[in-house]
């Protein structure tokens, strides 16, 4: 198997980090040890661990027991491992992203499945069908919108002339920057032709992110912005010209033009004296604002002339360059007596003419230098051709020991090394990023598609795609508010996702202390089981719930859930407990207690475990009680009917025959007239005979009845038979 | 990055979380069992909600019983006796932790106990407890014995039947006398579905070399007996005392993963699923995580079976993972500090 993310190609870090399945601590080295603060005084006698939800690890730390008993004996702390996301994002924002990305992800998966089934059926997609990358593009746009939109904030309504640089109200996030990089390189086929221009825009949006570690053009701008009001003669300040060159080098034309128009020669009081100087400044500003750009359109307020077709662009470019050269060699420079202006503007022209040395000194880090190459040295570059070697040259010129995570990702992308791209996504931007960005990567190339879908023996037969989804799902399940979306990701994993979903569901509590929430969550879990056809899991959950209620004295709830779970074993155990308590006495307290339960058990369409018998037995007992207390012949006849139906019913357990017959002695010895006729009596006698035979078997269970019960019943039956014969004859 | 969940009383010696991580049971030197709950599911603060005296001598181990049998724990006390306690509310009375069963032996101590749930095709439950007893006294019968008990009524924890009794030996004929065991570690195969084979892994830390090495035991349904199907030790390591074993959850791998800790380090084993003609399963040691000087106390796999967390006599918590090339390594370590 090819090694994943070898250390040298990733630009630093040991292999173990780059190849890690779950980058718990992305920048850790093998021997890294992290402190775990528990606040206990030593000595510590023992430490124990237990995994909680998802990635949370619970650690119990025990102190050596104290003889005086004053101290705390131990602490339990929870560590949430793994990086879900970029550290810049708050928990709430992160949950918003997690929830928001579910539906684009699910939609894309379902499209993928239907596309796969179409190709299995060997139907060619209809000509009106979109290309696959267009679906991924739609997905990418949806996700990108979730990650914040730095471009949405335009210029302020009242423009402050000194405000050269408009600060965005929303800070851009690295996550979005990384997402956009992936999108432009792998998905957006339409922009492939003007990739360099997209990079220019990208850097304009996200250069501030890189400024965290390094000086950048952006950080220089911000710094200068704060000084601008204090400067009397702006063009005398070397930083002014330096900044103009830097901003121009990275293509921020509107800033350059704005800065140029702050030049002192524009001031009204200077008009008469500095006309030539002002003319030169303005000429340069006009040239800059007319720079030809190979892109379909440009945002309002930005400078440059757009060309969609390369031949037009080439022509315009040459014309533009010719104008610059003409200006460069113009005689007006001699007439310009302000040395600062003259040199500054000449430098600007050198940038536009693509002077490597000037560009190199105007830019701060390699990405800026790289962008300036596209703008002024290699304006006709299209696609990825030789982009990587250029990047390496730039890195050599602007070396940094600790490259920013966005830059590491960029190098991976330019180097066309999918393994590094994946590993940088996970290392720098967390599990959410890698689980979602795989879709972008695979839209780009077959090679990437193979890489992430190859079943790997080392991972127990799963692919990288599944692995990253599992890892993300495990992280989602660490939190009470996000675990519900984990199933979406788990069910998209053919091989191991369902197994993990089962474990996840079986770890969900069936009881909570808050009744309403409990029921809500429990029903929600059952719904998830139903949705994914996990019948085994749902019946297990219902059994657990049933047993919880049973043990907590809520027998009705217990029976309900056990019935839902179709737990025949427990229900029949409950039934036999009922039998016992019902069998003991017809007037006792325990009977009343069970009566409600029998009612509940009987209300089901198909009573389980012979419980329909209990229902009938209850009716028999009630009639008998009634007949006994009121000496009511009607009630007695009703009791006889119940008796006969019980004894005829095959579901009446044999162990109950004698107790029933013993109860029936009252009916047999009804003093006014025999209630049970000859044939009925014969049936009862037959049952008694059968019972006598059954008693010979070893597994027979003797009911708890007085020892004379059997003889008593036999005698009563015989007497009744005699009376019935007399009555009927 | 750590968050405090609970503060334990002086004298607490062991703790155990229930299946959902919503309840914590702790045992202490004075024989008290304490149960901690959080009032609100979103809250991360756990408070002691009930206490029960479970024995005269201190509690050394608490183990939750699977939730299919209610909220219940097994406690092993300092004398080596095992008792089961469950939360009950009977006849509209308040919820209380009540004693439901004790397993005692005059001559032997219980070393470890774990519960497995099994359901046959007939949907009959069999719940099993494994009890390890061993003794320093010379009572041949109970030395290093493994006892498997079965619950007769799934509604209550009172009645248990001894289902099997054997020693941790691959050769069933041999019988050992005078074993003296210091500790033992059992771990059930954390299976999910129904109809899987019932199996567990077991290792001893004893003075009897044959007992020590970890063996995988499987219940043979046809013959209703326990058979050793694999031994997780290289021939030269068989005598090594085993400190801890942990069977990883399997969410779809074609093989099982089991971690075994000895003084040589933590060995990661792959256990094949197809038995050979002798009924043995193929085993392969894929890693030996050494350089870990301390004796391992405990090992726990995460829900995906990809990360192993361990603790040991050096007081450190370590996380182990395999990288994409199948190479196992230490991913991070945490050192408890004040």
Q: What does the pLDDT read at residue B82?
A: 86
Q: What is the mean pLDDT of residues A181-197?
A: 85
B337: contact with A, CB 8 A cutoff = yes
Contact indicator for B291, B316 with CB cutoff of 8 Å: no
Q: What is the mean pLDDT of residues A374-379?
A: 86
Q: What does the pLDDT read at residue A14?
A: 33
Of the residues B104, B124, B156, which one is the last residue of a structural domain? B104
Same domain, B87 and B222: no
- Among the partner-chain residues B39, B71, B311, the one whose CB lies closest to the CB of A551 is B71
Place of tokens 């979109």: A130
Q: What does the pLDDT read at residue A165?
A: 56
β-strands B32-37, B47-53: how paired? antiparallel
Task: Please give the structure tokens belonging to residue A280.
Answer: 């030169």
Of the residues B104, B129, B157, which one is the last residue of a structural domain? B104
Compute the count of residue pairs across chains A and B with CB atoms less than 8 Å apart: 308
Q: Nearest residue on chain B to A64, judged by CA atoms?
A: B11
Strand order in the sheet with B109-119: B109-119, B125-134, B145-151, B160-167
Same domain, B126 and B160: yes
Q: What does the pLDDT read at residue A58?
A: 92
Of B64, B92, B61, B53, nearest to B79 by C-alpha is B61
- Among the partner-chain residues B89, B124, B311, the one whose CB lies closest to the CB of A553 is B89
Cα–Cα separations (whole angstroms), residue A336 to A11, A276, A341: 49, 6, 8
State whether B253 and A460 contact (CB < 8 Å).
yes
Q: Is it the case that residue A46 has pLDDT exceeding 80?
A: yes
Contact indicator for A488, A482 with CB cutoff of 8 Å: no
Q: pLDDT averaged over chain A?
A: 79
Place of tokens 């004698």: A658
Q: What does the pLDDT read at residue B104?
A: 73
Q: What does the pLDDT read at residue A51?
A: 92
CA gap B150, B126 in Å, rounded = 6
Q: How confident is the model at residue A1 (pLDDT cuts 50, 70, 90)?
A: very low
State whether B338 and A38 contact (CB < 8 Å).
yes
Higher pLDDT, A367 or B179: A367
Q: How confident is the model at residue A9 (pLDDT cuts 50, 70, 90)?
A: very low
Contact indicator for A173, A88 with CB cutoff of 8 Å: yes
Same domain, B181 and B317: yes
pLDDT tens per residue across span A201-253: 888 888 888 877 778 888 888 888 888 778 777 888 888 888 899 999 998 88
Reduced to 3 states, what is the DSSP secondary structure of residue A51?
strand
pLDDT tens per residue across span A666-695: 788 777 778 888 888 888 888 888 888 887
Q: How far is A474 from chain B (nearest CA, A)?
A: 8
CA gap A419, A456 in Å, rounded = 14
Q: How confident is the model at residue A635 (pLDDT cuts 50, 70, 90)?
A: confident
Task: Please name the residue ranges forming H helices in A445-514.
Answer: 446-453, 464-476, 486-490, 497-506
State whether A573 and B322 contact (CB < 8 Å).
no
Contact indicator for A554, A548 with CB cutoff of 8 Å: no
Same domain, B83 and B61: yes
Reduced to 3 states, what is the DSSP secondary structure of residue A47?
strand
Cα–Cα separations (whole angstroms), residue B220 to A348, B171, B199, B226, B228: 86, 16, 9, 6, 10
Same domain, B166 and B287: yes
B138: contact with A, CB 8 A cutoff = no
Q: Is it the case that residue A84 has pLDDT exceeding 60?
A: no
Same domain, B100 and B117: no
Of the residues B84, B104, B124, which one is the last residue of a structural domain? B104
Higher pLDDT, B207 or A604: B207
Q: What does the pLDDT read at residue B142?
A: 38
Q: What does the pLDDT read at residue B35?
A: 93
B196: contact with A, CB 8 A cutoff = no
Q: Is it the case that residue A318 has pLDDT exceeding 80?
A: yes
Q: What does the pLDDT read at residue B128?
A: 54
Q: What does the pLDDT read at residue B292?
A: 67
Q: Which of A73, A472, A515 to mutate to test the interface with B (most CBs of B within 10 A)?
A: A73
Q: Is it the case that residue A103 has pLDDT exceeding 50?
A: yes
B291: contact with A, CB 8 A cutoff = no
Q: Is it the case that residue A18 has pLDDT exceeding 50?
A: no
Neighboring chain B residues of A464 at a CB cutoff of 8 Å = 324
Q: What does the pLDDT read at residue B230?
A: 92
Q: What is the mean pLDDT of residues A151-178?
A: 58
CA gap B315, B299 in Å, rounded = 13
Reduced to 3 states, what is the DSSP secondary structure of residue A658?
helix
Same domain, B227 and B295: yes
For chain B, how many structural domains are there in total?
Answer: 2
Contact indicator for A281, A348 with CB cutoff of 8 Å: no
CA gap A62, B10 in Å, rounded = 9
- Cβ neighbours, 10 Å, residue B41: 16
Q: How confident is the model at residue A589 (pLDDT cuts 50, 70, 90)?
A: low
Higher pLDDT, A513 or B251: B251
Cα–Cα separations (whole angstroms), residue A585 to A663, A711, A716: 10, 20, 20
Neighboring chain A residues of B335 at a CB cutoff of 8 Å = 33-36
Q: What does the pLDDT read at residue B1?
A: 67
Q: Nearest residue on chain A to B68, judged by CA atoms?
A: A544
Contact indicator for A175, A425 with CB cutoff of 8 Å: no
Q: How far is A144 from chain B (nearest CA, A)?
A: 29
Q: What does the pLDDT read at residue A270?
A: 73
Q: How confident is the model at residue A120 (pLDDT cuts 50, 70, 90)?
A: low
Of B143, B141, B140, nearest to B181 by C-alpha is B143
> SS3 string of A361-381?
HHCCCHHHHHHHHHHHHCCCC
Same domain, B22 and B165: no
CA gap B97, A260 in Å, rounded = 82
> SS3 string of chain B?
CEEEEEEECCCEEEEEECCCCCEEEEEECCCEEEEEECCCCCCCCCEEEEEEECCCCCEEEEEECCCECECEEEEEECCCCEEEEEEECCCCCCCEEEEEEEECCCCCEEEEEEEEEEECCCCCEEEEEEEEEECCCCCHHHCCEEEEEEECCCCCCCCEEEEEEEECCCCCCCCCCCCCEEEEEEEECCCCCCCCCCEEEEEEEECCHHHHCCEEEEEECCCCEEEEEEECCCHHHCCCCEEEEEECCCCCCCCEEEEEEECCEEEEEEECCCCCCCCCCCEEEEEEECCCCCCEEEEEECCCCCEEEEEECCCCEEEEEEECCCCEEEEEEEEEEC
Same domain, B85 and B219: no
Q: How many CA atoms lie less than 13 Å away from B232 in the CB half-sphere?
A: 33
pLDDT tens per residue across span A528-537: 888 888 888 8
Q: What does the pLDDT read at residue B266?
A: 93
Higher pLDDT, A565 or B259: B259
* CATH assignment at residue B263: 2.130.10.10
Q: Which range is least confidently modeled, A130-134, A345-349, A408-412, A527-531?
A: A130-134
Same domain, B119 and B97: no
CA gap A354, A377 in Å, rounded = 5
- Among the partner-chain residues A22, A48, A568, the one whose CB lies closest to the CB of B307 is A22
CA gap A63, A71 in Å, rounded = 9
Same domain, B144 and B271: yes
pLDDT tens per residue across span A246-265: 999 998 888 888 888 888 88
State whether B155 and A550 contact (CB < 8 Å).
yes
Task: Kindly give, in sequence order, each residue whose CB lies less than 8 Å from that of residue A337, ignoring residues fewer than 6 positions away.
Answer: A277
pLDDT tens per residue across span A386-425: 788 888 888 888 887 778 888 889 888 888 888 888 888 8
pLDDT tens per residue across span A263-309: 888 877 776 778 888 888 888 999 998 899 888 888 877 888 888 88
Same domain, B77 and B140: no
**Chain centroid offset of residue B33 CA:** 19
Q: What does the pLDDT read at residue B174?
A: 62
Q: What does the pLDDT read at residue A519?
A: 64
Instruction: Per-residue pLDDT tens, chain B, 338 aa: give them.
Output: 678 889 998 889 999 999 888 899 999 998 999 999 887 666 678 888 889 998 888 899 999 988 888 899 999 888 888 889 999 887 667 888 999 888 876 667 888 888 887 765 444 455 555 555 443 332 333 357 788 888 878 888 888 888 888 888 877 666 666 677 888 888 888 876 555 667 889 888 888 888 889 999 888 878 888 889 999 999 998 889 999 999 999 988 889 999 999 998 999 999 998 888 888 889 999 999 876 677 899 999 999 999 999 998 888 899 999 888 888 988 888 888 87
Q: What does the pLDDT read at residue B95?
A: 84
Higher pLDDT, B314 or A160: B314
For residue B153, give its domain range. 113-334
Task: Please name the residue ranges forming H helices in A211-338.
Answer: 217-227, 238-249, 253-260, 275-289, 310-328, 332-335
pLDDT tens per residue across span A354-365: 888 999 988 888
Q: What does the pLDDT read at residue A277?
A: 84
Neighboring chain A residues of B158 at a CB cutoff of 8 Å = none
Neighboring chain B residues of A62 at a CB cutoff of 8 Å = 8, 12-15
């Amino acid at each position: 198997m090819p090694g994943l993310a070898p250390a040298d190609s990733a630009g630093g870090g040991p292999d173990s980090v780059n190849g890690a399945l779950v980058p718990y601590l992305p920048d850790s080295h093998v021997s890294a040890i992290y402190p775990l603060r528990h606040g206990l005084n030593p000595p510590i006698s023992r430490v124990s661990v237990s995994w909680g939800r998802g990635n949370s690890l619970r650690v119990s730390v025990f102190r050596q027991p104290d003889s005086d008993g004053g101290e705390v004996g131990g602490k339990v702390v929870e560590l949430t491992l793994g990086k879900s996301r970029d550290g810049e994002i708050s928990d709430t924002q992160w949950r918003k992203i997690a929830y928001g990305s579910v539906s684009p992800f699910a939609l894309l998966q379902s499209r993928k499945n239907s596309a796969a089934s179409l190709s299995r059926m060997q139907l060619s997609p209809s000509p009106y069908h979109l290309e696959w990358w267009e679906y991924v593009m739609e997905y990418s746009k949806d996700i990108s919108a979730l990650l914040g939109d730095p471009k949405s904030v335009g210029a302020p309504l009242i423009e402050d002339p000194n405000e050269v640089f408009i600060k965005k109200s929303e800070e851009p996030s690295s996550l979005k920057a990384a997402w956009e990089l992936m999108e432009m390189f792998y998905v957006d086929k339409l922009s492939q032709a003007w990739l360099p221009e997209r990079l220019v825009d990208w850097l304009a949006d996200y250069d501030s992110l890189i400024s965290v570690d390094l000086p950048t053009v952006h950080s220089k701008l911000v710094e200068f912005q704060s000084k601008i009001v204090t400067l009397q003669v702006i063009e005398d300040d070397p930083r002014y010209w330096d900044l103009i060159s830097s901003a121009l080098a990275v293509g921020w034309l509107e800033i350059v033009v704005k800065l140029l128009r702050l030049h002192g020669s524009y001031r009204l009081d200077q008009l008469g004296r500095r006309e030539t100087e002002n003319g030169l400044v303005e000429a340069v500003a006009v040239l800059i604002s007319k720079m030809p750009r190979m892109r379909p359109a440009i945002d309002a307020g930005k400078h440059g002339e757009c060309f969609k077709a390369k031949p037009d662009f080439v022509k315009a470019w040459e014309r533009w360059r010719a104008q610059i050269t003409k200006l460069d060699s113009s005689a007006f420079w001699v007439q310009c007596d302000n040395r600062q202006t003259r040199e500054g503007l000449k430098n600007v022209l050198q940038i536009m003419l693509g002077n490597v040395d000037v560009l190199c000194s105007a830019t701060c880090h390699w990405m800026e230098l790289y962008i300036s190459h596209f703008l002024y040295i290699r304006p006709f570059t299209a696609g990825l051709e030789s982009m990587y070697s250029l990047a390496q040259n730039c890195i050599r010129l602007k070396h940094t020991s600790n490259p920013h995570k966005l830059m590491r990702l960029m190098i991976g992308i330019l180097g066309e090394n999918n393994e590094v791209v994946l590993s940088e996504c996970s290392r720098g931007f967390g599990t959410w990023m890698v689980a979602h960005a795989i879709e972008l990567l695979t839209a780009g190339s077959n090679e990437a598609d193979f890489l992430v879908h190859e079943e790997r023996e080392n991972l127990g037969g799963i692919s990288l795609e599944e692995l990253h989804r599992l890892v993300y799902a495990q992280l989602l399940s660490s939190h009470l508010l996000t675990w519900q979306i984990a199933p979406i990701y788990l069910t998209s994993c053919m091989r191991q996702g369902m197994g993990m979903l089962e474990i996840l569901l079986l770890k969900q509590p069936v009881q909570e202390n808050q009744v309403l929430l409990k029921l809500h969550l429990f029903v929600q879990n059952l719904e998830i089981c139903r949705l994914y056809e996990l019948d085994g899991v749902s019946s297990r959950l219902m059994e657990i719930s049933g047993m919880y209620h049973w043990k907590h004295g809520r027998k009705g709830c217990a029976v309900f859930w056990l019935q839902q779970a179709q737990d025949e074993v427990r229900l029949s155990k409950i039934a036999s407990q009922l039998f016992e308590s019902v069998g003991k006495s017809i007037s006792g307290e325990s009977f009343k207690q069970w009566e409600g339960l029998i009612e509940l058990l009987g209300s089901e369409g198909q009573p389980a475990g012979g419980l329909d018998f209990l229902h009938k037995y209850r009716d028999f007992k009630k009639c008998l009680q009634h007949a006994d207390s009121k000496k009511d012949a009607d009630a007695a006849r009703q009791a006889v009917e119940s008796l006969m139906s019980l004894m005829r019913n095959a579901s009446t357990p044999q162990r109950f025959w004698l107790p029933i017959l013993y109860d029936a002695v009252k009916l047999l010895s009804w003093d006014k007239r025999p209630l049970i006729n000859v044939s009925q009596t014969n049936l009862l006698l037959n049952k008694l005979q059968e019972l006598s035979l059954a008693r010979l078997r070893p597994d027979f269970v003797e009911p708890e009845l007085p020892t004379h019960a059997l003889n008593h019943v036999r005698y009563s039956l015989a007497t009744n038979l005699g009376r019935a014969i007399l009555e009927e004859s | 990055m750590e968050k405090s969940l609970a503060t334990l009383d002086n004298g607490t010696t062991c703790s155990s979380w229930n299946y959902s991580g919503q309840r914590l049971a702790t045992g202490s030197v004075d024989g008290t069992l304490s149960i901690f709950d959080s009032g609100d599911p979103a809250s991360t603060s756990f408070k002691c909600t009930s206490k029960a005296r479970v024995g005269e001598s201190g509690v050394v181990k608490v183990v939750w019983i699977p939730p299919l049998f209610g909220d219940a724990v097994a406690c092993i006390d300092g004398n080596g006796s095992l008792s089961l306690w469950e939360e009950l509310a009977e006849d509209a009375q308040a919820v209380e932790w009540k004693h439901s069963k004790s397993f005692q032996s005059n001559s032997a101590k219980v070393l470890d106990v774990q519960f497995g749930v099994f359901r046959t095709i007939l949907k009959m439950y069999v719940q099993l407890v494994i009890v390890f007893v061993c003794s320093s006294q010379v009572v041949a019968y109970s030395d290093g014995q493994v006892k498997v008990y079965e619950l007769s009524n799934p509604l209550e924890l009172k009645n248990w039947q001894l289902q099997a009794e054997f020693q941790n030996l691959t050769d069933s004929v041999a019988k050992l006398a005078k074993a003296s065991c210091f500790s033992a570690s059992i771990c059930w195969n954390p299976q999910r579905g129904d109809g899987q084979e019932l199996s567990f892994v077991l290792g001893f830390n004893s003075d009897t070399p044959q007992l020590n090495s970890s063996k995988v035991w499987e219940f043979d349904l046809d013959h209703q007996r326990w058979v050793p199907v694999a031994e997780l030790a290289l021939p030269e390591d068989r005598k090594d005392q085993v400190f801890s074993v942990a069977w990883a959850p399997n969410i779809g791998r074609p093989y099982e993963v089991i971690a075994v800790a000895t003084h040589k380090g933590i060995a990661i084993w792959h256990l094949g699923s197809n038995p050979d003609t002798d009924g043995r399963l193929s085993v392969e040691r894929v890693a030996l995580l050494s350089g870990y000087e301390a004796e391992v106390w405990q090992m726990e796999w995460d829900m995906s079976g990809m990360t192993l967390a361990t603790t040991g006599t050096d007081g450190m918590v370590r996380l182990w993972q395999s990288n994409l090339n199948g190479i196992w390594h230490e991913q991070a370590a945490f050192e408890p500090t004040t």
